[in-house]
Structure formats: C-alpha cells, structure tokens
Amino acid sequence: MIDFSISDEVKEVISALYKFIDIEVEPLRKKFQKELENERYLYDENGVYVQEVQKALKQIREKSAQAGFYNMFGDPRLGGNGDEYGPIAVASIFERIAKKYGVDLFTMEIFPKGLFSGGLTPVLLGMNKEVMEEVLPEISSGETVLCFGLSEPDAGSDVWNIRTKAEKDGEHWVINGTKQWITNAHYAKYMMTFAITDQALVDKRQGGISCFLVPFDGETCTATSTIPALGHLGSATAIVSLDNARVHERYLIGDLHQGFGKALHGVDIGRVVLAAQCVGVAEWALEIAVNYANERKTFGTTIGNHQAIQMMLADCALDIYAGKNMLLNCAWKLEHQSEFPIKEISLTKAFCTEMVQRVVDRCMQIHGGMGLTNELKLEKAWRWARMTRVPDGTTEIQKRTIARRLLQGDMDF
C-alpha cells in the first residue's frame, strides 16, 4: 500500500528546523531587513552580494552544520546523514519549510544550494582519498561552498554540446572553456568542472566527459560576471572563465571519460527537491491570499464572497493538491521501487514548476494593486517561480523525456 505519511522523527526534525530558524536566522533577517527588501543594498556594483550579507550567509551555513541540518541529506559515505531520510522525508521537509517561509534567501542557506550538486554531493564520492581528506572538512562545516560547472553558452539542455576541454600534460590536466549559469560561482572555492577528455566518445555520445575539482584562483579559473534576471540587480549565478587552468590528476572525480552519468544523477534528484519547494511556496502564497480574501472588503462585503475570487482560490487548491500528490507519489517510487522513475521525475518537475507560477500569479491578482508591490513578497515569489521553469531541464525538455518514456512502453502511473 502506498503510504505518504512521515514518521514522528521527521516531524520532530521539521519542528527543530522551525526553532533553528527562529533562533539563528530570524535575528539576521531583522538585521539585514534593508538589504533583503531593497536590492540596491543587497548587491554591490558587480551584482554580487555585499560582504556583510556574504558573512551572514556563511554564519547560517556554519550554524546549520553545527546543529546537524546542513549535512543531514549528505551522502553517508562522505560523513552526511542521508541514509536516515528517504525521498518522502526529504520532499516533505523542503515542502514544509517553503510553506512556512516562502522564498527567503537566508532560510534557503540552511541547506547547500543545489542539494545534490553542492555540499556533500554524491558526485564527490569519486574523489581521490587524499583530496577528500583535504576538502571535506571545510565543505561539511559550511565554511566552503561548491558550484556545479556543467552548463555552457551552447550547452544547456543538450549537455553533450559542451566545448570545455581538458588536455593531459604530464601529471596535470589543462582546462580551457567557458561555463555559464553557474550557481554560487562568485562565492565558491571549488567548481566541479565537466570537460571533454575524449572528443571521439563525445561525438558518439558514449562518454568522453570527465569531472574535475577545480579551485577558483582568480586567474585561470574566475567568475567573470553575474547574470541578473527578471529585473533583479544581481544574482547568485555567473559566467566562469577557464584559461589554462591546471589541476593535478588526483583532482579527477570518478573515472576518466565517465563524468556525465554523475552529472545527470545529481540533476534528477535535484528536480524532486525543487518540486517540493514549488509545492511549499504555492501553499504559502495561497494562505496569504485566503487571509486577504477574508479581510479585504469591496462593495459592502469581503472579497472572498465574490464568486470570481472564489474561483481563483479553488483553482489554486486544485493545482496544489495535484502537485503535492504527484510529488509524494514520485518520492514514494524513488523510495520503494528498484527502477529509477525517470518519467515520474520529469512529470513532477514539469507540473510543479508550472503550477507554482499559476498559483502565485492568481494570488497576486486577488490582491489587486497590492499584489504588484513586494510588501507581501508575492511579487518576489512570482519571479522565483518563473525562473524554476527553466533550470534543471526546461518544461519542454521534461515533456520530451515523458513522451519518449511513453513511446518506449512506460505506461504505468
């Protein structure tokens, strides 16, 4: 029997996270209220978080690590506690946090950005033992963050189209290329860098891509510029230039020519986490809209008594109910079935990212002119929701995957 319920232990973890946020994060939110509410103070002239905010984010990471949250989903072989939490628990925790706090920069720092492409990511399991002993302590403590260097100007959804190359030179690899849309690049110490090491295998789409742990040295590996989007004055994403970056062969992650599989696995699991956040943010927005509909009066009655508003609220509920059950069903299959649910992951990512923007958009409409301001953070959530439809595979790429699985006979739901 399919059971989506979470254990009392997971409920206690969620309660402990709420307390942690109240004690450790809320005071920082109040201290940096001006920066969080006005991006003119959040970013510097280069679109990078100002130093004071960077220090606050690092403080949250380190406090979270000390409290046992930062690495709670990390691979146990790297020192994390991921074996204690199945996919249903992971999805539920991310959904509950987003439902309570919405889109919040500081709260999202409790866990590594790109949960399965940062922090104690399984990608790092292929590291040389010597390198692992060198870098894991600073990664697990939250002192150092990583970034995931896969996407390029001509390689987004079609990652086989990457152009970054690594050439062997004695005991070193020399890497040249450009990475784009790299989250955390301005703040990371290392980039998990995917590069071509055998062009013939890449041309056949049979391998030929390897992964390296490349340090940012400010000369040969540099975050050159931020990529602001949707009216933001800065962002956490950037372009990275690799200009004869030399790394010793011991910094190869995993098997030579076989780094691509690691990249895909990290992206697949990350889609489930993103979907959980989308469900939570949609619930957060609907609660705000319901409260407003019960308070705001027009034409002698609260707007919740107007049928047009009722239809919008009901449509939000329909979307959320469908998205949440799709998410939990996908997580259940990840947890209990031996076959990796490729179709269900794409279904969940596509639906939930589209769903959250529909919900937030309706909730903004219910608020009228107030919804266009950012007083209630709905406008901020709308921009976040719009962006979720592109990373980790666009909606169209997810639909292509779904269709291919159907045509291959995967007709179970």
3 or 64, higher pLDDT: 64
Indicate the DSSP class of residue 304.
G
pLDDT band per the 50, 70, 90 thresholds, residue 123: confident
What is the Cα–Cα distance from 312 to 318, expressed in whole angstroms? 10
CATH 1.20.140.10 residue ranges in the chain?
262-407
- CATH classification number, 262-407, choose in 3.20.20.70, 2.60.40.10, 1.20.140.10, 3.40.50.1820: 1.20.140.10
Residue type, 142: G
Question: Widest CA span of the chain, in angstroms?
Answer: 81
Q: Answer whether residue 257 shows pLDDT above 90.
A: yes
Pairing of strands 301-302, 146-149: unpaired
CATH 2.40.110.10 residue ranges in the chain?
146-258
Q: What was the pLDDT predicted at 402? A: 97
Separation of CA 343 from chain center: 20
- DSSP H helices, 228-341, are 260-295, 307-336
Q: Answer whether residue 114 shows pLDDT above 70.
A: no
Q: What was the pLDDT predicted at 3? A: 83
Task: Specify which residues 177 forms β-bridges with.
Answer: 242
What is the Cα–Cα distance from 95 to 72, expressed in whole angstroms? 16
Q: Average pLDDT, stretch 51-57? A: 98
Q: Which of 67-76, 299-308, 389-398 has the highest mean pLDDT?
A: 299-308
Q: What was the pLDDT predicted at 5? A: 87
Q: Average pLDDT, stretch 57-79? A: 94
Q: What was the pLDDT predicted at 266? A: 59
Task: Specify which residues 213 forms β-bridges with.
Answer: 192
Q: Which residues contact 388 (CB under 8 A, 6 or more apart)?
A: 274, 277, 278, 353, 356, 357
Q: Average pLDDT, stretch 334-361? A: 96
Q: What was the pLDDT predicted at 75? A: 85
Indicate the DSSP class of residue 258.
B
What is the Cα–Cα distance from 66 to 132, expressed in whole angstroms? 20
Q: By the 8 A CB rule, do 151 and 179 touch?
A: yes
Domain 146-258: give its CATH code: 2.40.110.10
What is the Cα–Cα distance from 126 to 283, expressed in whole angstroms? 39
Express each pLDDT in 79-105 by its tens digit.
Answer: 998 888 999 999 999 999 999 999 999
Q: What was the pLDDT predicted at 263? A: 59
Cβ-based neighbour number of residue 372 at 10 Å: 13
pTM of the model: 0.94
Q: What was the pLDDT predicted at 103? A: 96
The pair of three-digit structure tokens given for residue 407, joined into one six-digit string: 């045509």
Separation of CA 41 from chain center: 24
For the chain, state the CA radius of gyration. 22
The pair of three-digit structure tokens given for residue 276, joined into one six-digit string: 């959980």
Q: What was the pLDDT predicted at 116? A: 65
Q: What was the pLDDT predicted at 101? A: 97
Express each pLDDT in 132-177 by its tens digit.
Answer: 999 999 999 999 999 999 999 998 888 889 999 999 999 999 999 9
Q: By the 8 A CB rule, do 210 and 194 touch?
A: yes
Q: By the 8 A CB rule, do 139 and 120 touch?
A: yes
Q: By the 8 A CB rule, do 374 and 37 touch?
A: yes
Q: Mean pLDDT, the chain, as a whole number?
A: 94
pLDDT band per the 50, 70, 90 thresholds, residue 333: very high
Q: Answer whether residue 9 shows pLDDT above 70.
A: yes
Of 108, 48, 5, nearest to 239 by C-alpha is 48
Percent of the chain with pLDDT over 90: 85
What is the Cα–Cα distance from 105 to 86, expressed in whole angstroms? 26
- 3-state SS assignment for residue 190: strand
Pairing of strands 237-248, 221-226: antiparallel
Express each pLDDT in 267-306 by its tens digit.
Answer: 677 899 999 999 999 999 999 999 999 999 999 999 999 9
Q: What was the pLDDT predicted at 332? A: 95
The pair of three-digit structure tokens given for residue 89, joined into one six-digit string: 């628990």
Q: What was the pLDDT predicted at 260? A: 72
Express each pLDDT in 211-221 by its tens digit.
Answer: 999 999 999 99
